[in-house]
Amino acid sequence: MFGWMDGFCEYLYPNLRSLAFDGTIGQGKTSRDFANLIMNTPTLVDLKLTCVDTPPRFWDTLSTHPSIKHLSLTDLKVNVDDSEGLWRVCTKLESLQMDYVDMDGGCPENVVFGRIRQLQLTAPNWVRQWVHQWVDYDGMEETHSLADTPYMYLLDLLLQSPMLESLELMIGGDGFTHEQKVNGDWPHLKRLKITGRASDAALDFIFKNDLGNMADLGPHLSELNSSKAFGSHYQSLVNVDLRDCLKISGSIVPDILCLCPKLEILQARHVDARNVAERGLWVCQQLRELSIQFLMDPSEQDLQQLIFERLSTLVLLEQLTLDYDRDGNGHYDVLDFRLDCGLGQLAGLQQLTSVWLYTPRYSSWGVNLGMEDVVWMVDNWKKLATVRGHLNKDAELRFQLECVFESHGISVEL
């Protein structure tokens, strides 16, 4: 990584495949040397630019490079005269990362980025703040979206990349508006990571094929039948990470569990237990890692049994994590890992190696395992290697439970 130019760009690097540059290039001879370094390195495949003021016509020049496949841009400004060259570069890329890129020119409608397989998009800082923090003259918070800003190019870029396999997206507020009619389909999408304060409606908007007349439902968009709203994407998803998506209300996660037959990893936040249990049978029989928090009233014993019944179908599960943040209403994950609540239904999870239970140290909430529960786990889960959690509020009993696990080679972590 070069933070200054000096004489580095005056040399040829015949085997250079990756270049990361962080800092101001400057003008005149320095900028020409920088462009020449890249263009005189035909083996260069991976280029990362951070806080770089690119020289004039740099993107036009880069668009003729024979080997560039991976481009990462962070904290950059691209003026309108250079944007066309950048989009030509993007048509040649296999992966693109654009974090906080400020662009004057939009994405041309007639361009298809048919080679892009991996896409990571983050709106500039001020746009993300403006999207969900705008206050009108009455002092009331309004919801705006990226579609109302010059940064609509983020959505255009996403919609014009039909071969996507991996999508990582940071959006604020509803992020993308429901006011547009969008045809976006990514039948090859396997990995999805959503970060920020995205709502269910925003995700529905991203994934739908064509909502047609239903687009005016706005905030109620998440109530649509997911087979209409999400198109074919559920059939190909393998890895879904929604842990940093702060506004998921719970309608998305139940659908993912019920409609993603190839899913292997699901990392989510809290979800209403009744929505999950009563949504239907889980088809994600390939799940190896599940991180989630079930929210329910402690008196709902029927839900305990239903959740355990759903979990019992995940016979390939290796990691089960039930420790996450609390809901805004103060409800905690109270799925009780006890035999009298349904734990015995999980005997078929023979691949389980790690269990992380929600157990706040100083609270009446959380699990309170008994000796019979711990003995059952040891006897039935032969591959179990790690248990995380505050197993019981009673210190003496907790010590005894930990000793049972540890005597069988199972580590206990708080």
Does a structural domain hold residue 348? Answer: yes
Residue 211: what pLDDT?
32
Residue 129: what pLDDT?
42
Residue 89: what pLDDT?
96
Q: What's the mean per-residue pLDDT of the chain?
A: 77
* pLDDT tier, 176 (very low <50, low <70, confident <90, very high otherwise): low
pLDDT at 319 > cutoff 70: yes
Does a structural domain hold residue 223? Answer: no
Contact 269, 324 (CB under 8 A): yes
Does a structural domain hold residue 333? Answer: yes
Q: Report helix, strand or coil for 50.
A: strand
pLDDT at 47 > cutoff 70: yes
* pLDDT tier, 115 (very low <50, low <70, confident <90, very high otherwise): very high
* pLDDT tier, 322 (very low <50, low <70, confident <90, very high otherwise): confident
Residue 234: both structure tokens together: 């559920």
pLDDT at 265 > cutoff 80: yes
Mean pLDDT of 318-322: 94
- For residues 303 and 184, the model is more confident at 303
Q: How far apart are the first and last CA of the chain?
A: 40
Of 109-123, 135-149, 291-305, give the range with the top mean pLDDT. 109-123
| Of 169, 170, 172, residue with least CA distance to 199 | 172
Could you tell me the CATH number of the domain that includes residue 309? 3.80.10.10
Mean pLDDT of 343-361: 88
Residue 310: what pLDDT?
94
- The pLDDT tens digits for 238-263 are 999 988 877 766 777 888 898 889 99
pLDDT at 305 > cutoff 70: yes
DSSP symbols for 284-321: -TT--EEEEEEE--TT-HHHHHHHHHHHTT-TT--EEE
Residue partners of 106: CB distance under 8 A and separation at least 6: 83, 150, 152, 153, 156
Does a structural domain hold residue 32? Answer: no
Structural domain for 311, as ranges: 250-414
Q: Report helix, strand or coil for 340.
A: helix
Under DSSP, the state recorded for 413 is E
Contact 211, 184 (CB under 8 A): no
Does a structural domain hold residue 245? Answer: no
Does a structural domain hold residue 375? Answer: yes
Does a structural domain hold residue 318? Answer: yes
- For residues 378 and 182, the model is more confident at 378
* pLDDT tier, 26 (very low <50, low <70, confident <90, very high otherwise): low
Residue 218: what pLDDT?
27
* CA quadruple 328, 99, 154, 235: dihedral sign: negative
Cα 339 to chain centroid distance, Å, stands at: 34
- The pLDDT tens digits for 187-230 are 888 998 888 776 666 666 666 543 332 222 222 223 333 334 45
Does a structural domain hold residue 398? Answer: yes
Residue 174: both structure tokens together: 């509803």
Q: CA 398, CA 339: separation in Å to the nearest integer?
A: 17
Domain total of the chain: 1
Residue 397: what pLDDT?
93
